[in-house]
């Protein structure tokens, strides 16, 4: 069974978001070993300067790198990443698993994203959309797409 880790900066604050996540975590348990790791984002003032943002991203980078499992295939979720269809996403997961990759990691940054260093070290950069979404919603969307991908791989009826 493939292992998937979602490294996310920030917590799901709203109860309904936690409920959505819990539902997809439960569904995904049939297909993969899922671990959600929440990291504390660096504190920033309401209107941070570019240098404050850079320091925060550098601090977050250190925490991300400490938690990255060795030998994992890493996806940086970022707006400049490649957009893909649900079918192509499922094919990517299937291909990686068939080639012997046993651990996938998806990185979700803080409100200012991920540092360039983290993006460079990732195996791939993915974008869910050119639109901007709240980080809590992005996590739910990622979990849903992972579930959909496994349904597509298994020929399930969830994906239409």
Q: How far apart are CA 138 and CA 136, in angstroms?
A: 5
Domain, as residue range, for 80: 2-153
The CATH number covering residue 44 comes to: 3.40.1280.10
* Residue 82, strand partner residues: 126
Structural domain count of the chain: 1
Q: What angle do CA 31, 33, 34 make, to 5 degrees?
A: 105
Query: Is residue 160 in a domain?
Result: no
CA separation for the pair 18, 153 (Å, rounded): 26
Q: Can you give the pLDDT of all 160 residues of the chain as single tens digits? A: 999 999 999 999 999 999 999 999 999 999 999 999 999 999 998 899 999 999 999 999 999 999 998 899 999 999 899 999 999 999 999 999 999 999 999 999 988 999 999 999 999 999 988 888 888 899 999 999 999 999 999 988 876 6
Instruction: Judge whether 158 and 151 are in contact, CB under 8 Å.
Output: yes
- Count CB atoms within 10 A of the CB of residue 1: 10
Cβ atoms of 106 and 3 within 8 Å: the answer is: no
Is 158 part of any domain?
Answer: no
- Is 125 domain-assigned? yes
Pairing of the two strands 73-83 and 124-127 = parallel
Closest among 106, 89, 75, 83 to 4, alpha carbons compared = 106
């Amino acid at each position: 069974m493939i292992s998937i880790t979602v490294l996310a900066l920030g917590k799901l604050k709203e109860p309904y978001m936690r409920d959505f996540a819990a539902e997809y975590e439960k569904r995904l348990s049939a297909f993969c070993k899922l671990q959600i790791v929440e990291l504390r984002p660096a504190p920033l003032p309401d209107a941070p300067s570019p240098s404050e943002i850079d320091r925060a991203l550098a601090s977050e980078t250190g925490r991300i790198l400490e938690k990255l499992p060795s030998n994992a295939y890493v996806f940086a979720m970022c707006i400049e990443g490649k957009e893909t269809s649900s079918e192509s996403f499922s094919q990517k997961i299937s291909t990686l698993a068939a080639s012997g990759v046993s651990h996938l990691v998806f990185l979700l940054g803080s409100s200012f994203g991920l540092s360039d260093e983290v993006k460079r070290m990732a195996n791939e950069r993915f974008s869910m959309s050119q639109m901007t979404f709240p980080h809590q919603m992005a996590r739910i969307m990622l979990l849903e797409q992972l579930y959909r991908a496994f349904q597509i791989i298994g020929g399930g009826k969830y994906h239409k």
